[in-house]
Structure 1
Amino acid sequence: MAAVAMTSAVAVGCSSGDTGDTADPAPSVSAPVEPVVEESAEPVEEEPSSAAPSPGPTLSMGGSAEFQSDDEGAGTTTLKVTVASAKYVTPADINTETQPSGEYVLLNLTVKNTGTKPAAFYSTGVSWESDAEAARVATTYGGAFNDASRLSTTYKPGQSATGTLVLDVGAKGGSLTFFRDSARVEPAVTVKLPK
C-alpha cells in the first residue's frame, strides 16, 4: 500500500543591507503542502490472468463421464457422454474412395443432458493426439455413416442422442478431445482410442 508523507517549505525574507531597524524580520511565507507518494516495500499480490482450462475426464471404451457446460449462456448445467465403441475402418467400409490422412475410426457415443438447463455438445472440431504426434483436428468425414449433425446440438434437460462419428485420426490409438465450447478453448472430455 502506498504511504503519503507531507512536506512543506518555509521561506524567510532577508535583506542584503543594514537598515538599522531592529524590528522583526519579514513574515515567513509557507509554500503549499503537496503529498509525496512513496512506493511500499511490500509486494502486491496480483490475481492470475486466467487459469488453465481443466482437461476434463478421460474415458476408455464403455466408459461414461459428466462435465459442466455453460456455452449456451443459460447457466451451468451437466452433460453426460458414454463411449460405446471405436472401430477402425477402411474407405470401402464407409462407401468412400476418399483416403484418410491417417485412419478412419467409427466412434459410437451417447450424449445426455443430466442437468437442469439447455446445453450444447460439439462433435466437430475434435482434437486428436498421440504420444508420437502433436494435437491436430480429427476431421469429421461427412458420409452416410456419420451422425455428427445429430450429436452436435443443444440438448434440453433429459434429452439424449446416440450416434456414430466417422473421424480421420492420425493413427490407431491416441486420444480424442471434445470441447465444451465451439471455440475449442475448454476441453470437456477425452476418449482413449484402442490401438
Structure 2
Amino acid sequence: MRTRTIAALAVFGLLPLTAACGSGGDNDSAADKPPAQAGLDCSDPRITHVEWVKRCQNEKAGTDGEKPAETAAGKALGLGESGTFTLADSESGKKTTFQVTVDETTYIDEPAEVDTTLAAKGRYLRLGLTLKNVGENTVHLLTYGEIEWENADTAAQDATTLVILDGPELDTTYKPGQAVTGKLVLDVPQRGGVLNYTEGSGFTIKLPR
C-alpha cells in the first residue's frame, strides 16, 4: 500500500523534486572530479609537472628557452641548488618526499672519459646528483629512462643513460633518512636547455651552455 502511495505522489508533482535532488548529486560528483589539466592556468598550483612542461615552460622561459621560472615542484635547479619532489613506490603505492641536489653538470668531449667507446648522438653530459628520502615511506627510485631534455625550440627528447659510473647507484630503494650521491652519463642533443625528471611530481635542472 505504501509503495502505491509513493508512486501516486510522484505522478502528481513530486517527481520533478526527485529529479532535482538527483541532479544535485550529479553536481556534487562533478565537483569531486579533478580539474581538466588543459583548462588550468600555468600559475595554478593544481597543474601537474608534465602538463606544465608541455604547455607553460616555453612561455616562462627567456628568449633562449633555458630558464623556466617555475615548475610544479619549484624553480629549475642550477648547479649546487636543491629542491624537493614527491614520488610513489611502484609496488606499495606509498608516497614520500625526496630532496635533490645538483652536484655536477659537465659536458664530456672524449668517450674515454666516461668509459665508453660509443659516439654521442649529441653531447655527453655527466650529471651528479644527491638524492635523499626526507619523507616517511620507503620508495624505490629509478632515473633510467625517466629523464628528458628540451629547450625552447626542441620538444622533449629522451636523454639516454649511457653509463652509470663507478660508485653508489642512484637507482635503488630509499628508506626514510637515507641518501645517495651518484653520477649518470647522459646523451643530450646539444648544450644548454633543461633536463626534466618525469616521475612523480618531477623536477627540472637548468644546463649550462
Q: TM-score, normalised by structure 1?
A: 0.69
1:155 equivalent to 2:169? Answer no
- The Cα shift of 1:136 comes to 1.3
Structure 2 counterpart of 1:56: 73
Q: Which amino acid aligns with 1:53?
A: T
Structure 2 counterpart of 1:6: 11
Cα 1:112–1:36 change in 2 (3 A) is closer
Fraction of identical pairs, as percent = 34
Structure 2 counterpart of 1:12: none
Q: Structure 2: 5+ residue runs without aligned partners?
A: 1-8, 38-46, 50-71
1:191 equivalent to 2:205? Answer yes
- The Cα shift of 1:74 comes to 5.8
Structure 1 counterpart of 2:191: 172
Q: Is the 8 A contact 2:84 2:100 kept in 1?
A: yes
Matches within 5 A, 1:67-146: 67-72=85-90, 73=92, 75-90=94-109, 91-125=111-145, 126-142=147-163, 145=165
| Larger helix fraction of residues | 2
Q: Distance in 2 between matches of 1:115 and 1:44?
A: 36
Which sits farther off after the overlay, 53-62 or 39-48?
39-48
Cα 1:81–1:38 change in 2 (3 A) is same
Q: Distance in 1 between matches of 2:135 and 2:27?
A: 40
| Larger strand fraction of residues | 1
Q: Distance in 2 between matches of 1:94 and 1:75?
A: 36
- The Cα shift of 1:35 comes to 5.2
Q: Is the 8 A contact 1:77 1:117 kept in 2?
A: yes
Counting matched residue pairs gives: 160
Q: Which amino acid aligns with 2:148?
A: S
Cα 1:118–1:68 change in 2 (3 A) is same
Q: Structure 1: 5+ residue runs without aligned partners?
A: 9-33, 181-185
Q: Which amino acid aligns with 2:188?
A: V
Cα 1:157–1:35 change in 2 (3 A) is closer
Instruction: Describe the superposition over 1:48-69 as per-residue Cα deviations: whole angstroms up to 9, x where unpaired.
Output: 3665423323211100112222
Q: Which has the larger radius of gyration?
A: 1
Structure 1 counterpart of 2:40: none
Q: Distance in 2 between matches of 1:64 and 1:92?
A: 30
Instruction: Describe the superposition over 1:50-100 as per-residue Cα deviations: whole angstroms up to 9, x where unpaired.
Output: 654233232111001122222253633221111011000022322333111
CA-atom RMSD in angstroms: 3.1
Q: Is the 8 A contact 1:60 1:83 kept in 2?
A: yes
Q: Distance in 2 between matches of 1:191 and 1:146?
A: 23
- The Cα shift of 1:189 comes to 1.1
Cα 1:100–1:88 change in 2 (3 A) is same
